[in-house]
Structure 1
Amino acid sequence: MTDTCIGIIGGSGLYQIDGLEEATWQSVDSPWGDASDEILTGRLDGVRMAFLPRHGRGHVQSPSSINYRANIDSMKRLGVTDIFSVSACGSFREEMAPGDFVIVDQFIDRTFAREKSFFGAGCVGHVSVAHPTCPRLGDAAEAAARAAGITTHRGGTYLAMEGPQFSTLAESRLYREVWGCDVIGMTNMPEAKLAREAEICYASVAMITDYDSWHPDHGEVDVNDIIRTLFGNADKARDMVARLPSLLGATRDACPHGCDRALEYAILTQPAERDPALVAKLDAVAGRVLAAAG
């Protein structure tokens, strides 16, 4: 048994978590650089929580400028065991309407301007992301959202685009009709991959703001409409988050899906050949297995 620490990474519109006891904004010193912002820590219903505004307070980081490695590393250093990513997304499905939430379980990564791994030359690691989200956390997110009265869809494929521009009509049709995607956003990759490398359970909650550009009755994305929907979704997200501690509890067993043991056989570089400088940077995300290897 270990203590639960729930990490919330809040996307567009979600910059604060209400009701935290002992709430403190704190910076975390990460060897991967600066995180998007300080992290708000505290307790909610007796359970430790850590909240990071993905774009920074005031929305100062674009999807491509976010330091995803520093964000995940900082969460790991604070002892976060479970991450819930909450982000604004467009919808490719009529039934997934603006204001609805989708519990994402798959991704297609079309980003290209981001550092996507903690590992590299001098310490090579390969983790499986065949199932990139944790079903246990998906269950909790679904239960919390439904209890909050939010129309919620379980399961969906998230197309991660580089941005910051929205899709062309041709791209939107490709992603929807040919690739079978359900939602589109700009921030869950490489975030989900890095959480897996850091052995942190990860769930993705997509807050629908628009129909992208494929819908014949809605036309291109209207930023004014998105902003209006964002504020409503942020209120719903705070209600959902407030219900998570009672569902997860203050302590937890090992993840039944193995998310917290993802590095068990992932590092291929032999101990004698590992780059000491890179190994030092990996002390938080991979310390469990690196220490075991001597």
Structure 2
Amino acid sequence: MTVGFIGGSGIYEALPLNDVREETVETPYGDPSAPVTVGEFGDTGTEVAFLPRHGPNHEKSPTHLPYRANVYALKQLGVERILASNAVGSLREDLPPRTLVVPDGTFDRTKHRQSTFFGEGIVVHMPFADPYCPHMVDHLHESAREATDAETEKGGTYVCIEGPQFSTRAESEFYRSQGWDVVGMTAIPEAKLAREAEMCYATVAGVTDYDVWKEDSEVTLGEVLENAAENETAIKETVERAIETLPEERDCDCGHALEGTINTPVDAIDPDTRERVDPLVGKYLDG
């Protein structure tokens, strides 16, 4: 099997892999953030396809990331499950910096991003009540507990803001009043696109700061980068453990998430659209 790993802030290099190669993947949605590093993880027989979300030198902002190209490229490489990482701010006193959180919910506050593969020529209405694969959430959290000494938290809501600015105090207080747990800039539309590609998807989020709700807390880039660097080892250990112990078969509904969701009659889909979306929904259009 091939597992995708999308590295967030602070993670720009692949896990230790054997027989490494770089794949330059062309997609209908432009170029991915970087060539995909592919190799075998240890002696597991598992192939890992790694992408640094922001590019190798963190040159792409959250708004302008090629989310669709990234997920589509992994799909073309045969990836069925994506493990991701994010740097996030905490909205709870009991989730201090350097805690690892595996969220199971999200709230979308983004404004300027393409969040679907199916915006033109074909309309798809996909259920998204539970944005992260529940089996992968369980597995990733258990892997964090087994592989690291970091404090870990399973579940919670990741509110995704547009950025690249951090929150205002009013916004931060509002997010807390809603009972949300962490705030970041990159979970959406990545999770939506992974579901549209019928991939399992879960993320391990490393807390870097308390946002700006906490008294005497003024989130800065310096603080974020320092704690992201401290979180890097724990996140990689978590992902490595998750890959080592990942079941060969998927036991979830992600692999047929698009079943019954296509609202456009097959004979109304033009050839160019059909070619573009074929890796995603071809099995439904051919039937």
User: Which TM-score applies when normalising by structure 2?
Assistant: 0.96
Q: Distance in 2 between matches of 1:10 and 1:154?
A: 20
Q: Distance in 1 between matches of 2:13 and 2:179?
A: 34
1:10 paired residue number:
7
Q: Distance in 2 between matches of 1:56 and 1:283?
A: 27
Runs of 4+ in structure 1 deviating by more than 2 angstroms, as ranges, are none
Tell me if the contact between 1:13 and 1:231 (Cα under 8 Å) persists in the aligned partners. Answer: yes
Q: Distance in 1 between matches of 2:155 and 2:181?
A: 9
Q: Distance in 2 between matches of 1:18 and 1:128?
A: 33
Equivalent position to 2:268, from 255, 273, 290:
273
Q: Distance in 1 between matches of 2:125 and 2:143?
A: 33
Cα deviation code 1:144-194 (max 9, x no counterpart): 1111222110001011100000000000000111x2210000011011011
Distance of aligned partners of 1:18 and 1:204 in 2 relative to their CA distance in 1, 3 Å threshold: closer
- The code of the aligned residue for 1:226 comes to V
Tell me if the contact between 1:91 and 1:208 (Cα under 8 Å) persists in the aligned partners. Answer: yes
2:210 paired residue number:
211
* Farther-moved stretch of structure 1 (118-127 vs 187-196): 118-127
- The code of the aligned residue for 1:191 comes to E
1:47 paired residue number:
46
- The code of the aligned residue for 1:15 comes to Y
Tell me if the contact between 1:91 and 1:211 (Cα under 8 Å) persists in the aligned partners. Answer: yes
2:143 paired residue number:
144
Identify unmatched segments of 5+ residues in structure 2: none
- The code of the aligned residue for 2:281 comes to A
Q: How far is 1:143 from its partner?
A: 1.5
Q: How far is 1:287 from its partner?
A: 2.2
Q: Distance in 1 between matches of 2:161 and 2:126?
A: 22
Tell me if the contact between 1:43 and 1:49 (Cα under 8 Å) persists in the aligned partners. Answer: yes
1:81 paired residue number:
80
- Secondary structure at the residue paired with 1:23? strand
> What pairs up with 1:91-102 in 2 under 5 angstroms?
91-102=90-101
Tell me if the contact between 1:87 and 1:207 (Cα under 8 Å) persists in the aligned partners. Answer: yes
Q: Distance in 2 between matches of 1:180 and 1:276?
A: 46
> What pairs up with 1:225-236 in 2 under 5 angstroms?
225-236=223-234
Tell me if 1:163 matches 2:160.
no
- Secondary structure at the residue paired with 1:248? coil
Tell me if 1:263 matches 2:267.
no
Q: How many percent identity over aligned positions?
A: 42
1:240 paired residue number:
238
- The code of the aligned residue for 1:149 comes to D
| Cα RMSD, aligned residues only | 1.2
Cα deviation code 1:194-239 (max 9, x no counterpart): 1111100110211100000001142x20221111111111111111
2:103 paired residue number:
104
- The code of the aligned residue for 2:157 comes to T
Q: How far is 1:275 from its partner?
A: 2.4
Q: How far is 1:11 from its partner?
A: 0.5
Tell me if the contact between 2:198 and 2:258 (Cα under 8 Å) persists in the aligned partners. Answer: yes
Q: Distance in 1 between matches of 2:261 and 2:124?
A: 5
Q: How far is 1:22 from its partner?
A: 1.0
* Farther-moved stretch of structure 1 (263-272 vs 280-289): 280-289
Q: How far is 1:283 from its partner?
A: 1.8
Q: Distance in 1 between matches of 2:282 and 2:235?
A: 33
Q: Distance in 1 between matches of 2:220 and 2:155?
A: 26
Identify unmatched segments of 5+ residues in structure 1: none
- The code of the aligned residue for 1:153 comes to E
1:135 paired residue number:
134
Tell me if 1:182 matches 2:177.
no
Q: Distance in 1 between matches of 2:75 and 2:81?
A: 10
Q: How far is 1:284 from its partner?
A: 1.5
- Secondary structure at the residue paired with 1:269? coil
* Farther-moved stretch of structure 1 (113-122 vs 87-96): 113-122
- Secondary structure at the residue paired with 1:6? strand
Q: Distance in 2 between matches of 1:51 and 1:82?
A: 12
Tell me if the contact between 1:17 and 1:238 (Cα under 8 Å) persists in the aligned partners. Answer: no
- Secondary structure at the residue paired with 2:145? helix
Tell me if the contact between 1:32 and 1:281 (Cα under 8 Å) persists in the aligned partners. Answer: no
1:288 paired residue number:
283
Tell me if the contact between 2:157 and 2:182 (Cα under 8 Å) persists in the aligned partners. Answer: yes
